[in-house]
Copies of this chain bind each other. A is one copy, B any other.
Amino acid sequence: MGESQPDPSADRKPNEPGLVFADTAYRLAVVDLLGAIAYGELSAFERLVDDAKLAPSVRDKVEMGAMATLEFGHVAPLHDRIRELGGDPFEAMAPFEAAIDLFHAHTAPADWYEGLVKAYVGDAMAADFYREIAAYLDADTRDLIIASLEDSGQADFAVRHVRQAIAADPKLGGRLALWARRLMGEALTQAQHVAAERDALTALLAGGIDRPGLDLAAIGRMFTRITERHDDRMSEVGLSA
């Protein structure tokens, strides 16, 4: 970047919200979105620690615990940003608690392998979805979201263990493939409930004066991409969809 070019953000303090946040509807929608992600990370943390109880060894438990604490570490920066935007982190998370809690209540893993597949598939699917939305947001918010969705190593860990287990017991593959499909179905059901209730988020996707939005065709393509990535992951872990 040439030094002679004026940078419109040069006068901003590092964490000060940009001009785009002068649009109140946009600001509220971003607070909503960050609240959803923060509560998602918080409950992912709890569930990973819970599911780690099913671990066949203390070694596996420690690996799962390390992933869980990384997820928890993402919550504070999201809360900080919500405060910078004038919101309250706990109010921002509240509207998403019911849907996310219900998702977890409906998908409690019956054993260690179901837990691993859930950690792998569930987390990656949520990350894909939020990353798709982040593409339509201002650069600061986008960077924060992408950083907070960084894979904490659970993909490698899960793929390695699930592949080994299926190699040793091919029947397990069939059961886990059905399980992954159920996870996908539950996630879509709860996402639809949230979308139907949260006008701010829906408006966010529709765009604004200075921001491109998603029309129905674009939303369709987005879900196609998310589904394709899910299928890729299923093959990667040795579960044909």
Q: Which of the four size classes fits the interface of chain A? A: 20 to 34
Q: How many Å lie between the Cα of A93 and that of B61 in the bound state?
A: 13
Quick one: which of A79-95 are within 8 Å of B by CB? 90, 93-94
> Is A75 interfacial (CB 8 A cutoff)?
yes
> Is A46 interfacial (CB 8 A cutoff)?
yes
Known contacts A58-B90, A72-B69: A46-B53 contact under CB 8 Å: yes
Q: How many Å lie between the Cα of A94 and that of B62 in the bound state?
A: 13
Interface mask (A46-90 → B, CB under 8 Å = 1, otherwise 0): 100110110001110110011011001101100000000000001
With CB as the reference atom, state the residue of chain B lying closest to A72.
Answer: B69
User: Which residues on the B side are within 8 Å of A62 (C-beta)?
Assistant: 42, 75
> Is A45 interfacial (CB 8 A cutoff)?
yes
Interface mask (A97-108 → B, CB under 8 Å = 1, otherwise 0): 100000000000
Say how many copies of this protein the assembly contains. 2
Q: How many Å lie between the Cα of A199 and that of B66 in the bound state?
A: 32
Q: How many Å lie between the Cα of A99 and that of B95 in the bound state?
A: 42
User: Which residues on the B side are within 8 Å of A58 (C-beta)?
Assistant: 39, 42, 90, 93-94, 97
Q: How many Å lie between the Cα of A90 and that of B56 in the bound state?
A: 13
B73 touches A69 (CB 8 A): yes
Of A58, A61, A93, most buried by chain B (CB within 10 Å of CB) is: A58
Q: How many Å lie between the Cα of A65 and that of B47 in the bound state?
A: 12
User: Which residues on the B side are within 8 Å of A76 (C-beta)?
Assistant: 66
Q: How many Å lie between the Cα of A93 and that of B65 in the bound state?
A: 16
* A-B residue pairs in contact (CB < 8 Å), sample of 22: A42-B58, A42-B61, A42-B62, A42-B65, A45-B49, A46-B49, A46-B52, A46-B53, A46-B65, A49-B49, A49-B50, A50-B50, A57-B90, A58-B93, A58-B94, A58-B97, A62-B75, A65-B72, A66-B72, A66-B76, A69-B72, A69-B73
